[in-house]
Chain A
Amino acid sequence: MTALARVGVLFAAIACVAVPVAAQDDAVKAAGVLRRQGRPAEAVAVLEGARGAGGDATLEGMLGLCALDAKRWEQCDALAAAWGDYDGDDYRLVVFLGRHAATRGDGEAGRLRLERATTLRERPIEARLELVELLLRLPDLGAALVQAEALEAVEPSVGRPQRARVLRAQGEHQARKGPEALPKAVEKYREAYAADPSDPLTAALLLDGLILMVRAEEAAEVIESLYGAGRDPLAYHWRRAQVELAAKRIEPARAQLARVLSLDPAHVEARLESARLALDAGDHPGARAHLDACPPATPHESRRRLLLGLLALDLQDDGAAEQHLRAAVALQPGNTKALYHLGRLLMKLGRRDEGAEILERYQALAH
C-alpha cells in the first residue's frame, strides 16, 4: 500500500470511530507523509480529525508544525498558548514552539527552544534547519555556521547548502563594512561557492568581489565554469569585459564589450562602459554612438546623461552639457560627479550663485 493509500484508509477510520491513541499515532505518521509532500493543510485536517477533544504532545507538535507550514497563524497561536509552559521531550512540539516563537518575533525564545530540540534527537534535521534560518535572521552568523556544519555532518545534502548560505551571509556582512573588508568578504564567498556552486547569487557575489579585487585569473575561472562552453555567451562576455576593465586592460576590455554588443546591441551597461572608454580615449564620435544607442529609461539613465554631459563639455557645447548634467542630477541627486561638473560649468558661465549652490551640494556629499 502506498503512503497515499494509507492516508485514505485513515481518513475513513477517523470518520467512523472515536479516536484511540493508536489512531493518533497513525494520524501523526500520515500527517508526516503529507507534510513531506508539501500538503500541510491536508495534514492539518488529518491531525484535527484524530485529535478529538485533545491530543498528546506528539500529535500537537505535529499539528503545530503542519499549521505553521500551512500558515494557519491563529491555530498556531492557540496551540502555542496551550503548550507555552511545556518542558517535556517531544521533539516536534519543541520544534513547533521554537519555530512559532521565532515566527512571532521572539527570536531568543525561539532559539532556546530550537537549541533544546537539537538535543532531543540524534538527527535533529528540522531543528537545525530552523536554527540556521533563525540565526541568519537574528543575525548570529557564527552560531548559524555551527548549526549548518552540524547539519551537514548528519545530512550532507541538506547541510552543505545551508553552510553555503551562512558563508555567503558572512561575506555579505563583511562587504557591508566597506572596501577595507572586501577581501574577507570574498574569502567567505569563495568558501560558499565551493560548498554550493549551484547557487547563482553566491556565484554573482563572488564574481563581483573578485572583479573589484582584480583577481582576474580566478574570476575568469568562475566565469568559465558558470557561463563558458556556450552556456550563456552574453553573461560570459559581459563578465569577461568587467574583469578586463577592472584590470585596466583596455584593449581586451574593448574586445569583450564588442562581443557583448554583437550579442545584445541594447546592453546598456556595455554601451555605457564602451562610451566611457571612448571618452577616455578622446573618441567623441565613438562615445556619442554608444550613448545614442542606449535604450531609453533604463536604471542607468543618470549615468548615460552624465556621460552625455561630459561629452558635451569636451565638445565645449555648454548648453547641452548643462542640460545633460542637470538631468543626471535630477535622476540621481547623489550623483557627485554630475554635481561637480555642473557646478564648475555654471561658474564658468558666470552664474556664480547657481554654481556655488551646486558645488556646496557636491561638497556636502563628497566630503
Chain B
Amino acid sequence: MSSPGVGQPGAERTTSDRDAITTHRSGPGRPATDLLADGRDLPPRRTSTPVVVPDPPSAGPWFESADAAASGLDVVNLAGRSAADGKTYLLDCIGPGVTVLDADGDGRLDLYFPQGRAATPDGGDSRNRLYLNRGGRRFEDVTDAWGAGDRAYAFGALALDYDADGDDDLLVANLGPNRLLRNDGDRFTDISAEHPDLVGDPTYWSTGAAAADVDGDGDLDVYLANYFVHDAAELDADGPCPFMGCMVPCGPKGRVPQPDVFLLNSGPPAYTFTAAGVDAGFADVPASFGFQPVFSDVDDDGDPDLYVANDSVANALFVNDGAGRFTEEGLIAGVSVGGSGQMEAGMGVAVGDVDGDLLPEIYVTNFSTQTNSFYVNRTERDGLIWFDEQSHVAGIGHPTWFKLSWGCAVVDLDADGWLDIVSSNGHVYPQVDTCDIASIDYEQANNLFVGRAPKRAGDVPRFEDAGATAGAAFVVPGPHRGLAVADLDDDGRPDLVFSRLEQTPLLAWNESPAAGRHLTVDVRWHDADGAPACRAVGVRLQAVAGDRAFSRELLCGSSFLGSEDPRAHFGFGDIARLDRLTVIYPDGVAKTWTDVSTGRHVVIRRTGRGAEAVLVLEGQGP
C-alpha cells in the first residue's frame, strides 16, 4: 500500500549507500545483536535507557467524534432482541469486530463490518458491510457491488492476503459456516466451498481469527477461535441465569465450549486451508471459549507465537518451535491468568513493545470487576518466556476495574514516543442497568491510557488515564464492542473505529493537538520483480534514536474479532531523524537504513528471497 498522505505529494526514493542486507535469525547461539551487516548492531534488548522527561500537559480533546452515518458508515448493528427488550442469548450480546483492509488497492484503508441478525424471522438486513474509503473522511457502501454482503450471523472478520496475490481477502467468522471471500480486484468471490476445513462445523460459533506464516513456507496460516454451542432450545430451558441479583443470558460457563481450529495454508498454487491442529501441537488443547488470537513473536526468536484470549477460562500462549509446532506455556509464562493467579474472562488482545526493549508486551481486556491485564515481557534471551502482570503499577488496573472491555490497541496516538492504550467498553448484559449493581452500567465510556516516560530506566511502563480530556469517544457511554485503529485519513495520526451493539459505528478522528513526529511504514514483499506486493505479516521494525529504541510488529488479526491497520505507526516526539531503521522479515532477511527522517510515510519494498533479496526504502516528502 502506498498512501499519498496528507500534504505529502509525490514520492521520493530514499536509500542510503550505507544500507546493507543480511539474514536475521535469532535463537540459540545466534544473538540478534550480531546479525546486521551494516557494521552496527541491532538495538540490544533491555538496555535502552528511557529519557526522563516531564509529562507533557494533557491537551485535549484528542479525538473528534464523527457521526459515522454522515461519514457514510451507516450500518446499524443487528443483534437479536434489543437491549431495551432485554437480551435472551449471549449470542446477541457479544457484538462484532471491525476489520481494516485495503479492498480496492488504492492505498486508502477501507472498513468491513460483520453484521448480526435481527430477532425477526428474516433476520433483518443482516448483510455484512464493506465501505470503501473515498478520501476526505468519506466512505461509500459498496457491499452489494463487491459481493461482500454475506447474511450469516457474523462476529469477526480477518483481512488477509491468503493467496499472496497482493490484495486483501476476507475470512468471516460466523455462527455456523464461516466464509472465505477472495478479493478479485473489484469484487469478492465466495470461495468457501474450496476450503471445507475453514468453513468448519456448521454448529460452530466462530469469533476471532489471526494469521501468520507459522511454518516459514511463505504463506499465511490461520488460527480461528470458537466459542460455545449455541443451542437455543437448551438455553431456553436453562435460562435465564443469575448474575449479581439479575437474570441474564446464560453462558459461557455451563455451556459446552467448542475447540479452536488451526488451518495450514497449502501455499501455491491452490492456497487451500487444511485443519492441521494435531500436527501443529494443538491436539491436547482443551476447548476454551476462545475469542481473539494474536500471532506475535513474544520470545524474539524469529517465529510467530500465538496468544489466545479465552472467555472465563485461562488464556493460552502457544510457543512456536520454528517449524510450526506449538507448545502451550501460558501458565509458566504468566499470561494465562491475572496477576493474582485468578481466572479472568479474556476478550480482546493487543501487543506492542511498550518499554522499548524490543519484546512485545501483551494487553488483554477482561470482564467487569477484573482489571484489564498488562503483561510486561521480561523474557531473557534463551531463557524462559516470562511476563509479569503489572496493570496496577502501570496505572491501568483501578480505572478498568468496573469496565467490561472488548477491543483494544497499543498504539502511539499522539506520536510522543510512548505507546498508549485504548480499549472499547460496554457491559455484556443490558440487564445490569436494572440490577442493584453500583458502578457497573450497560453503556460505558471507552478508556484511553496515555503512555508516559518511566521515572527510571527499567521501571514498569506507566500510563495516565486521559479519557476525560480525550473527546466524546472516551466520555459518552455506549455499548462499544470491536475496535480498529487505523490512520484512515492518512495524516499520520491513527484514528479509531468502534463497533457498537445496535448502533452505527463510532468514528473518532485523531486530532491530537500536541502530536509529535510520526513515521508510518508500509512494508511490502514482492516475491519477484513484477509480482504482486503482499502485506508483510510478521515483519518487525526497529528504530533507534540516541539511547531510545522503538519496535513494531506487523500483525494480522488482533483487538477483538477484527484486524488492524497493516502499516506500522511510530511516534518519535520531537526526534526529527532516526539513527537507524531496521526491517526484519519473517524469513530472517533484514536491512538497516541510517539517518532516516521522521514525520513522513515510507514504504519498504522487498523483492526476492534469501540472499538475493533487494530492499528499498521509499519515502515521501522531506
State the A residues within 8 Å of B (CB). 179-184, 186-187, 213-216, 247-248, 250, 279-282, 336-337, 339-341, 344, 347-348, 355, 359, 362-363, 366-367
Contact = CB atoms under 8 A, between A and B. Distances in A.
A250 B121 CA distance: 50
A250 B398 contact: yes
A99 B397 CA distance: 56
Contact of B334 (A213, A344, A362, A366): A344
A278 B602 CA distance: 45
A100 to B, nearest CB: 41
Given A214-B438, A250-B398, A347-B332, A339 B245 contact: no
B386 A282 contact: no
Interface in B358-407: 384, 386, 392-393, 397-399, 401-402
B337 A366 contact: yes
A213 B369 CA distance: 10
- A interface: dominant SS: helix
B341 interface: yes
A359 B245 contact: no
A332 B306 CA distance: 35
Contacts of B342: 336-337, 366
10 contacts: A181-B242, A182-B244, A183-B246, A213-B436, A213-B437, A248-B398, A280-B397, A336-B341, A340-B340, A344-B332
A248 B460 contact: no
Interface residues of B, number: 30
Most chain B beta-carbon neighbours within 10 Å: one of A347, A359, A367: A347
A214 to B, nearest CB: 4
Contacts of A348: 384, 386
A180 B337 contact: no
Contacts of B243: 180
Contact of B341 (A183, A187, A341): A341
B439 interface: yes
Contacts of A280: 392-393, 397
Contacts of B142: none
Nearest to A352: B332
Contacts of A336: 340-342
B229 to A, nearest CB: 21
Most chain A beta-carbon neighbours within 10 Å: one of B243, B244, B392, B438: B438
B435 A183 contact: yes
Interface string B122-142: 000000000000000000000
Contacts of B460: 282
B514 interface: no
Contact of A180 (B245, B314, B340, B386): B245
Contacts of B337: 340, 366
B459 A183 contact: no
A247 B436 contact: no
B436 A183 contact: yes
Contacts of B392: 279-281
A344 B333 CA distance: 8
B340 A282 contact: no
A248 B402 contact: yes
Given A250-B398, A339-B341, A213 B242 contact: no
Interface string B431-454: 000011111000000000000000
B331 interface: yes
B384 A186 contact: no
A282 B459 contact: yes
Nearest to A359: B331
B341 A366 contact: yes
Interface string B324-348: 0000000110100100111100000
B245 A184 contact: yes
Contacts of B332: 344, 347, 355, 359
B401 A183 contact: no
Interface in B226-249: 242-246
A339 B341 CA distance: 8
Given A281-B392, A339-B341, A340-B340, 20 more contacts: A180-B243, A181-B242, A183-B244, A183-B246, A183-B435, A183-B436, A247-B439, A250-B398, A280-B397, A282-B460, A336-B341, A336-B342, A337-B342, A340-B341, A344-B334, A348-B386, A359-B332, A363-B331, A366-B337, A366-B343
